Structure 1
C-alpha cells in the first residue's frame, strides 16, 4: 500500500499535537477534497481514550475505509493497530481500549480511497496512572469466595506480584464470582485454579506480566475477556484441565514467550476435552530460551493451525515439542513454520495421518514417534541431526519408514511394535550408531537390507538387539548377505 507523505505547515505540526491541544493538524487531501483531522482526544484514563475526528467530504462514496490508527511510535499507519469506523458522517469518535497506564501513545485518523491510505497529522496522548498509590505489593492467594470478596473490597488496582484465585486444596466455599476483583487492572502473574466460574467476563485486567495459568475450572467455557490484556514479557502460558472449555480466543494478544524468573518459556495446552482448535494463538510468533510446547490430552482437538505463525525461536538449541494423546488430531501442519526444534515427541494421537508439519525443522536431536495408530507413512523427510536419538514404536499401521534417508549418524535407534512394517528402507544412508540399535516386536518385518552398510562397515559401535520380528538376522547374517527372507 502506498502511504502519502504528510505536509505540516508549522513547527507545532512537526512536533505533533499534545493532549489538550485543540488545533487541527494539516492533513492529506484527495482529488475530491476528502480530508481527515483529529480535533480532540478526550476521556483519557489509565487504559482508554476517545479520539474525536472531523472529515471534509467524509460522506464521499470513494471512501472504502476510515478510522484511527495508534501505537507506541510516531506516525502510526494502517499496518499498526487500527479502529475502523463504519459510519459515513463527517464526524466520528473512536474509543481506544486495552491501553497501558502511564504510557505515551501516538495516533492519527485515516481514510482509504482507491487502495491508498491518507492520514491526518499526528497527535499524541499519555494515559493516566491512578494506580500509583493503590498498589498491593506481594503475592495474593484467594482460596474462597469470602476471601475474594474481602480482598476485592480494598479496591486495589495493581498487584505487584502473583494473584492466585482458587486452590486445588479447597472444596468449601469455592470461588464462583470474580466481580469483586473488577478494580484490578495490572498483575505480574495470574493463576485461576479450581474455581466454579463459567467465564472470565468480570476480570478487568489489562496488563499481565510473566505467568498466566488457567487450570481445573470445571465450568469454564471460554476465556474471551482475556483479549483486553496486554501481555508484558509473558513466559509461561498454561491452559489445562478445563473439561468444557471450547475456545481460547481470548489469547489473541499473546505474541511471544520468553524466559522469566519462573524458568524457560512454556506453552501448555492440556486436557481440555472440548477444545477443537487453538484459535487465539495465531499471533504467537516468537518463543525464546529453551522453550517447550506441550499439546496434550485434548480429545476433540482436530488441528493446531493457529501455531503456524511461530517463526522466531531465539535459542541456539531450539525448542522442544510434545504433541500427545489428542485423539482427534489429524495433522501437525501448524508447526510447519518452526525451524529450530531440538526435540519432538508425537505420541498416541489416534487420528493422526500426517507428520509433514515437521518437514521444515533443522537438525532434530530427538525424534519420538509412538502409538499413532492411523499413521501409515512418514510422507516427508525427517531432518534428524547427527548424534540424535530415534524412536519409532507401536505405530500399528506404519507401512514404511521412508523419509529417514538423510539420517547418517545416530546416538541410538529403537524401532519396535510396528506390526505393519515390512522393511527398514529409509535407513540406507545410516553409517554409524554410537550406543544401541534395537529392532523388536515388528511382526511383519523381514527385510534388514537397508542397514547392510552400517553393519559391514563396522558403524555399529554399541549393542545390536534384534528379536521377535518376522525375521531376526544376526550381524553375521547381514555380512553374509542374508539380510532378508
Structure 2
C-alpha cells in the first residue's frame, strides 16, 4: 500500500517555520555529494530483461574494464571493478537489441545492485531506398525522413529500426540509457525533462549500421505522450546519448506540431526531445523499520537487518507526471539497539531543479518483486510493449512525498514502512536462508548467486535471488513479505549458481520457519552442469512413467528420481510442488490437471518433448532453468487460463523432423518466449490459434523450412505483426484466419511454389499482402475471403492454382496477369471490385464463377478472360454493373453449364446490354442459361434488365442440356445462327423478341431426356418462322405470347411424343404449323387462346390415332372434340 505525505503543499514545512504539530521535524543534515572522477572498488550484481521482463541470456555487460555475459536468469556480476564513485557507468549489448546502459552510485568495497536494465528489440518500422530517399512512419508516430543519396557509401535498401522510450512509462528509467544527466551546449551539467525519446538506427541489407554523409541531415519526428501534450512548448532542445561517456549531449532544436516534435539530425543513436534544468540537491535520510515481524527471535534480527531490500527513488514532476530522476539508495546500515529493528541510509541525490511540486516515491525493491512503481498517468503509443503491471502494492509498502526544492536544501526523512508499521493480520514475515557455497574443488564460490524458490506446501509463492559476497562464498538470500500471506512460506528450494564456471548446485529443499533466519550447516556444493548434466549420480527411471492419481504422485515423489528416460505423463493433479528432485525428462505431458502452476516441474533442466493439454487452471508455464537446446515437439493446447509459456534455452524445434509447434485453444496466452530459438528447419508445421499474442517475435532469430502442414494462424485477435517469421520458409500450407488486428503480412516468407493452400480469411484490418502476393507463382489453392480492409490484391507472378476471392468488402483491384491454369476460380461478393486482370488464364478444368452478390450498386463494369480456351462450369451472376460481355474470344469448349444471370437484382439496377462475345465456343456440354431470371414471369426480379442483344456464340453448334434465354428487352439473338442441337429443354422466356430467326440451323431439341421446348411470356413475339429447320423434338409448350398469330416455322416437325401445350396466346388464329406432326403423343393441351378458331393443324395427329393421353381443348374461339376433328369440323 502506498502512503503519501505532502511537503510544501498547503503549509510548506520546508520553507516555513509554521507546521502542523504532528508533522515530523525536518532534518537539516545534508550528506555530501561524492565528487565525480574518482574511482572506487565495487562489485555489481544486476539483471537484464526484455520489454516483457523476460530474462535475457548472453547479454554482454561491460564496466570498469571488465566484461561478462548474463546467464540463463539474465543475471550478471562484475567482480571487484573500479567505477566512478559519483557516476558508475555500465553498458549492455546483445545482437538484435539496441544498446542499454545504466548510471548509478556504487557502494564502496561492497556489492552494488543498480536499477534494472531493459533492452529494447530493434523493430523495423519500414524501408527506404537510399538513392531515392523517402520516409517511413511507425504506428505510434515515429517518422524518419531521409533525403536522396544521403548515406555514406550506400545506395540500396535501408531498413529503419526504432524503439520508442516513453517518459510516462513506469519503467522509463529501465528502458532508457544511462540516466538523465546532460551537458548543454555551454558544457554545463544539468538534468533533462523528457518529452519523448527513441532509439533509431539505419541498417543496410546485411544488418550493418549506416552513417549519414557529411553535410546531409535526416528528419526525426517523435510523438509526445498524450498526457504531456498540454505542457509541450513550441520548440525544444534535442539531445543524443554519448555511449562512450554515458551522458546526454545537446544538438539541435525540435518544433512541436500535430502531437509530436520534429527536428534535423546528422547521425543516429538515441534521440531525445527535452528541457534542460540545472542540478539541485535532494538530501535524504531513509529509515527502514520492521516493527511487525511475527515470531522473530532476537538472535535473528542482525542477520535479517544486514540484508535489506533495495530502495528505489523515483522523482516525478507532479504536473506532467514525467519521470525526472531514478536511483537506488545506498544499503541502510543497522542501528544498534533499536527497537523495533531499524536501519538507516543517508544520501544526497542530484536532480533537475524545477519550481513546481515534485512527487518523490521510495519503493522497496526485491529480486523477484517489482523493479519500479506504477504511473497512473502512463499514456502509451502504438509502438510500445507496455510493461507488465508491478505487483508490489500487494506485498510491499512505498511512500510518496510532495516536495518543492529549497535553497539551501533541507533533508527529507522517510520511514519505511510508513508510520513505522507494516501490513495487518499476521504482519510482516521474512524468509532468510544463508550459508556458504563451494565449487567442485571445495573452494569458495566468489562470483555467483543464490536462487530461492519459496513455497507453501507444494505451491510456489515467490522466487528471489541474492549475490555471493566476499571471498568466503557467503550468501544470504532473503525476501520480505510486508503484508500477511494467505499461504505462509514453510519450505524453500535453494539453487546456487557459479558464474565463473557455469556450474550450479543440486536443488535443496529446506523446511523454514518464517521470520527465523535459517543458516545452512554444510556448504552448498556448486558442481552440477548448468545444462542439465547429472555428473553420473542421477537416479534414472528408464521408460515411460504415468502419474494419474494421488498414489502414483506420492510414489514418484518418494522415489526421488532425477530423470525419466521416456515420457512423464501427468494427469488429474492439483499440486505438483512436491516434485523437487526431477531435473530431466525425455518428454513431458500434462493433461487434464487442475494445477495453477507447474510446481516442481518448473525446475526441469531438460525436456525433449513438451505437451500441455486441457489444464484449465494453469496460468504460467515457465521453465526458467531449462538448459537443453533441442526439443522435438511443442504442443500447448486448450489451457484456458494460460497466459505465458517460457522455454529460455531452446534453440532447435523438431531437429529430427516429423513433429511441430502446436499452440491452440489458449485464449489468454499473451506471452510466448523462446528467446534463444534459432531453428525450426525440420518442423512439420507451426500452428498458433486462439491466443492473445500480439506478435511472433519469439521466432525473430529462428530460421528453417517448415514441412507439409506449413503455418496456421487462426483466431489471434491481438496479433498485429508476423514480422518475427521473416527467416522461416513456409513451403506447403499457409493459413491466416481471424487475426483481426493484423494489417500486413510483412515477415511471411514463402517460395514461389506452394504445394498446398494459401488461405487469408477474416482478417479485418489486413491491407498489405505483398509479402505473399509478390512471390507466389503456383499453389494448391489461393483463398482470400472476408478481409474487410483489403483494397488491392495483386499477384504479378501467379501462374497456377485454384482461386477463391470472396466477400472482401473494400477490395477494388484483383490482378493476376500471368495466371494461366487452375481447376476452379470463384470470385464472389466483392462489392467494390472494379478491376479484374486474369488475361492469361487459358484453362479451367472444373469451374469459373463470378458472382457480384446481392448489392444493387457494384463497381465492376467490364470483365473478360481473353485467353480462356476450355472451362468446366462457367457462371457470371449478379454482376449488376457490367455493361457488355463481348470478349471471351478464345473460349472453345465449356465442359459444364454456362450461365450468365442477374437473377437476384432488380432490373432497374442492371447495366448489361450486350453479350456479343464467346465467338469461338462450339459446344456447351451441359446447359446454357442467359438471363434466366425471366423463367418465372413478371413476378421475379431481373427479367427487365437492359440486355438487348446476343450477337455472340456465332460458332456454337451444340448445347448438351438445357438452353434458356430471357430478358424483357432482348431483341437480337442472331449470334445463335449456327446452333444445331439442344439436348434438353429449349427455353425462350420473357424476352422482347419479335421472331426467332437466330435459330435458323437448329434441328433437334430435348432428345437426351425427353425434354420440351418452352416459348412463353414473350410480349412482342409474332412468329416462329426462325425455327424452320427444327425437325426433331420431344414436346413443345407455347404460352402467354400475346402477339403470336400462328405456328409457322414448325412444319418440319413430324413427331412430338411428349406433348403439345398451346395456351393463352391472345392473337393466335391457327396452329397449322403442327400439320405434319403424327404418331403417338402423351398429351394435347390447347387452351385459352381467345381468337383461335382453326385447330385443323392437329388433324393428322388426331386422325392417326396416336393420342393415348390427355386431350384438353378449351377456352378458345373454337373448341372441337376429337370426334369433331375426325369429322372435319376443326375450324369455325
Q: TM-score range by the shorter chain?
A: 0.5 to 0.7
Partners of 2:1068 and 2:1092 within 8 A in 1: yes
Q: CA deviation at 1:152?
A: 5.2
Q: Partner of 1:136 in structure 2?
A: 754
2:1070 is aligned with 1:439: no
The structure number with the bigger radius of gyration is 2
Q: Does the CA contact (< 8 Å) of 2:996 and 2:1026 recur in 1? A: yes
Q: Which of the pair is proportionally richer in strand?
A: 2
* Shift in CA distance, 259/301, structure 1 to aligned 2, threshold 3 Å: closer
Query: What SS does structure 2 have at the residue aligned with 1:188?
Result: coil
Shift of 1:342: 2.1
In structure 2, the CA distance between the partners of 1:165 and 1:154, relative to structure 1 (3 Å rule), is closer
1:163 aligns with 2:817: no
**Match for residue 1061 of structure 2?**
414
Decide whether aligned partners of structure 1 residues 259 and 331 sit closer, same or farther in structure 2, where only a CA change above 3 A counts: closer
CA gap of 1:178–1:385, structure 2 versus 1, over 3 A, is farther
1:218 and 2:218 correspond: no
Is 1:236 matched up with 2:847? yes
Alignment CA distance shift 1:330-1:460 (3 Å)? same
CA deviation after TM superposition for structure 1 residue 320, in Å: 2.8
Alignment partner of 2:899: what SS? strand
Query: How much is the aligned-residue C-alpha RMSD, in angstroms?
Result: 3.2
Distance 1:133 1:198, change over 3 A: closer
Match of 2:1099 in 1: 452
**How far does residue 386 in structure 1 lie from its aligned partner after superposition?**
3.9
- Cα–Cα, structure 1 residues 142 and 433, in superposed 2: closer, same or farther, change >3 Å? farther
- C-alpha contact 1:442 1:469 (8 A) present in aligned 2: yes
Deviation at 1:274, TM superposition (A): 0.7
Structure 1 residue 266 and structure 2 residue 266: aligned? Answer: no
| Mapped contact 2:752–2:778 kept (Cα < 8 A) | no
Cross-structure match for 1:79: none
Contact kept in structure 1, 2:1095 and 2:1130, CA below 8 Å: yes
Match of 2:865 in 1: 251
> Aligned ranges for residues 13-24 of structure 1 at < 5 Å?
none
Partners of 2:765 and 2:1079 lie apart in 1 by: 63
- Residues 440, 469 of structure 1: 8 Å contact kept: yes
Matched residue SS, 1:375:
coil
| Distance in 2 between residues matched to 1:310 and 1:247, nearest whole Å | 26
| Counterparts of 1:245 and 1:334, CA distance in 2 | 28
Instruction: Supply the distance in 2 between the matched residues of 1:437 and 1:245 (Cα, whole angstroms).
Output: 49
CA contact (8 A) 2:841 2:865 kept: no
Are 1:354 and 2:354 matched, yes or no? no
Q: Relative to structure 1, is the Cα distance of residues 218 and 178 closer, same or farther in structure 2, using a 3 angstrom cutoff?
A: same
Once the two structures are TM-superposed, the CA of residue 142 in structure 1 deviates from its matched residue by 4.0
CA distance in 1, matches of 2:972, 2:1099: 33
The answer as to 2:174 corresponding to 1:174 is no
Alignment match, 2:1076: 429
1:426/1:450 contact within 8 Å kept: yes
Deviations 1:226-281 (A, max 9, x none): 3x222224453434446546754422222333479xx95222211182121225x3
| Alignment partner, residue 973 of structure 2 | 332
Work out whether residues 843 and 868 of structure 2, in 8 Å CA contact, stay in contact via their aligned partners in 1: no
Question: Deviation digits for residues 381-401 of structure 1, max 9, x if unmatched?
Answer: 354454512111111211111
What displacement does 1:301 show? 1.5
Q: Which position in structure 1 is the counterpart of 2:1023?
A: 377
User: What is the TM-score when the length of structure 2 is the normalising length?
Assistant: 0.28
Compared CA separation, residues 197 and 149, structure 1 to 2 (3 A):
closer
Structure 1: any 5+ residue segments left out of the alignment? Answer: 1-130, 168-172
3-state SS of paired residue (2:1108): coil
Q: Secondary structure at the match of 1:462?
A: strand
Match of 1:276 among 888, 902, 913: 913
- How many residues in Structure 1 have an aligned counterpart in Structure 2? 338
Match of 1:64 in 2: none
Contact kept, 8 Å, 1:255 with 1:283, in 2: the verdict is: no
8 Å CA contact 1:240, 1:269 repeated in 2: no
Q: Identify the residue that residue 965 of structure 2 maps to in structure 1.
A: 323
Asked if structure 2 preserves the Cα contact closer than 8 Å seen for 1:259 and 1:265, the reply is: yes
Check conservation: 2:843, 2:869, Cα contact below 8 A. Answer: no
Question: Could you tell me how far 1:306 is from its partner in structure 2?
Answer: 2.5
**Change beyond 3 A, Cα 1:368–1:450:** same
5+ residue gaps, structure 2, are: 1-748, 875-893, 934-941, 1007-1011
Contact 2:800-2:822 within 8 A present in 1 as well: yes
Partner secondary structure for residue 419 of structure 1: coil
> 3-state SS of the aligned residue for 2:754?
strand
* Maintained 8 Å contact 1:213/1:238: yes
The aligned runs of 1:36-55 (5 Å cut-off) are: none
* Aligned residues of 1:257 and 1:287 also touching (Cα < 8 A): no
If asked which structure has higher relative contact order (CA below 8 Å, sep 6+), I would say: 1
Residues 234 and 293 (structure 1), Cα distance of their counterparts in 2 relative to 1, 3 Å cut: farther
Distance in structure 2 (CA, Å) of the matches to 1:246 and 1:301: 17
Task: Choose 399-408 or 196-205, whichever is displaced more.
Answer: 196-205
- Comparing 434-443 with 192-201, greater Cα deviation is found at 192-201
Partner of 1:289: 925
1:400 matched to 2:1046: yes
Per the alignment, residue 342 of structure 1 pairs with 983
Residue 251 of structure 2 corresponds to: none
The answer as to whether partners of 1:176 and 1:195 remain within 8 angstroms in 2 is: yes
Q: How does 1:292-307 map to 2 (within 5 A)?
A: 292-297=928-933, 299-307=945-953
User: In structure 1, how many angstroms separate the alpha carbons of the residues matched to 2:845 and 2:862?
Assistant: 16
Counterparts of 2:811 and 2:1024 in 1: how far apart (Å)?
A: 41
Contact persistence 1:364–1:383 (CA under 8 A): no
Find runs of 4+ consecutive structure 1 residues off by over 6 angstroms. none
- CA drift at 1:184: 5.5
Q: 1:385 and 1:183, CA in 2 relative to 1: closer, same or farther beyond 3 A?
A: same
Deviation track 1:392-432 (CA, whole Å, cap 9, x = no partner) reads: 11112111111110111112111112111111110010112
Native 8 Å contact 1:235 1:258 kept in 2: yes
Contact map agreement 2:949 2:971 (CA 8 A) in 1: yes
